[in-house]
Amino acid sequence: MSDVGIGLSGLAALIALIAVRVPIGIALIGVSFGGLYVLMGPRIAWGALSIVPYQFTSSWILSSIPMFLFLGFISYHTQLTRGMFNAARIWLSGVPGGLAIASIFGSAGFAAVSGSSIACSAAMGRIAIPEMMKYKYHPELATGTVAVAGTIGALIPPSIILIIYGVIAQISISQLFLAGIVAGLLTTFGYVIVVLVRVWLNPALAPERDSGVTLREKIFALRETWPILLIMFGIFGGLFGGVFTPTEAGAVGAFLACIVAIATREMTLARFLQAARETLMTTAALLIIAVGASLLTRFLALSGAGDYLSSGILSIASDPLLLMLGIVMVYLLMGLFLEPIGAMLLTLPIILPVVDASGWSLLWFGIILTKLLEIGMITPPIGMNVFVIKSVVGDLVKTSAIFRGVVWFIVMDLFLIGVLYAFPEIVLTLPEMMR
């Protein structure tokens, strides 16, 4: 068998292992090691297994991941985001579907201190859904909105997906964060439009508006937002002001979250330890998958399978639009069965050379990729955000109803991807200006 044949056989074996539910990190490492063993012999295979994990995990930028995760878990367990939702709820009380829109803006605020879609959905689900159910919102609108709003956490910095993508693609994390801010705000307002249109078409989805809130009550509600605003100002002010790097921003944010939680008397030893434990577990899982993807990149490069597949894709889809449609379809299909980071790391060794050869901006593609991955968080049968919301509502709402509730938002996501494809300067202008 040729070297390319060995590489392609390894990819087939990897897909088979994932299909039978072998953890993706273990499957990546096992296939890559076995492929290198067959291709280059035991010495090279064991050498790669000992060197590549250290080379990848020793990247200083990766140290920001556990810090941003810790920041998100601290904010989640100490309920620092509740004030953001309450303020949005009061200010939007006279708007059709105001509570649903408030949950979207609340999720955008939590995204700015989290970086995790699941944490964002879990936090806002516990805050916003009981409030919407109390005011007789339709269950599909209530649960679907919060499930989808959680995906904003992957776009608005700090984003774990953008950090890992930046490390793999070797582009500036700060530039990705700036592009993510624009895409995140665009997505936020896109979701707001969906809620407004749905309630306009079917007023029964949301109750009668309450416009009796006074200006004094609105001003008072803004006082509750100071915990999140302080953390956001500390992170973004220092980051884009040049006081510290994106790597250091995670530690600064985590420290600020702890101080704010103590000041609001929400911090307890049990909550601190729970956040630390969840941070360690999530970080370990992410790094195992990332190490496996790094080994797979080495295996595909040595076998020539990576270049073979990239050249084949470029020859088949010579038209940029067809190529983009093909990439969209691949990630939408992968989103049905794989979690986002696993899908990203599994495909980047093949997709990045294609993107680079097509002349597309790797910065712009990182945003497109993130949006595609986040659609996978709300599509059946996996739809992790949907099942997070299901765990919050229990038997009150069927899983199928939550999936029906996200359909309109998926259409908006696909529309926004089309807009970003047609007008890449939307996300590229701000990073270029700040550069």
Side chain identity, residue 262 = I
Condensed to tens digits (0 to 9), the pLDDT of residues 377-391 reads 888 766 778 888 887
Condensed to tens digits (0 to 9), the pLDDT of residues 257-274 reads 899 889 888 888 899 999
Neighbours of 409 (CB within 10 A): 24
Distance separating alpha carbons of residues 48 and 33, to the nearest angstrom:
8
- Is residue 196 within 8 A of residue 189, CB to CB? The reply is no
Write down the pLDDT at residue 361.
92
Write down the pLDDT at residue 316.
67
Asked if residue 340 has pLDDT above 90, the reply is no
Q: Of the segments 227-231, 290-294, 402-406, which one has the largest average pLDDT value?
A: 402-406
Side chain identity, residue 287 = L
- Is residue 115 within 8 A of residue 151, CB to CB? The reply is no
Helix (H, G, I), strand (E, B) or coil at 435: coil
∠ Cα 382 385 387 (to 5°) = 65
Which band of pLDDT confidence, cut at 50, 70 and 90, is reported for residue 417? very high
Asked if residue 405 has pLDDT above 80, the reply is yes
Helix (H, G, I), strand (E, B) or coil at 249: helix
Which band of pLDDT confidence, cut at 50, 70 and 90, is reported for residue 31? confident
Asked if residue 309 has pLDDT above 80, the reply is no
Neighbours of 114 (CB within 10 A): 31
> What share of the chain in percent tops pLDDT 70?
94
Asked if residue 224 has pLDDT above 90, the reply is no
Average pLDDT, the chain: 83
Condensed to tens digits (0 to 9), the pLDDT of residues 184-202 reads 999 999 999 999 999 999 8
Structure tokens at 258: 């702890």
Which band of pLDDT confidence, cut at 50, 70 and 90, is reported for residue 416? very high
Asked if residue 156 has pLDDT above 80, the reply is yes
Distance separating alpha carbons of residues 359 and 342, to the nearest angstrom:
25
Least confident range from 173-182, 242-251, 298-307, 311-320: namely 311-320
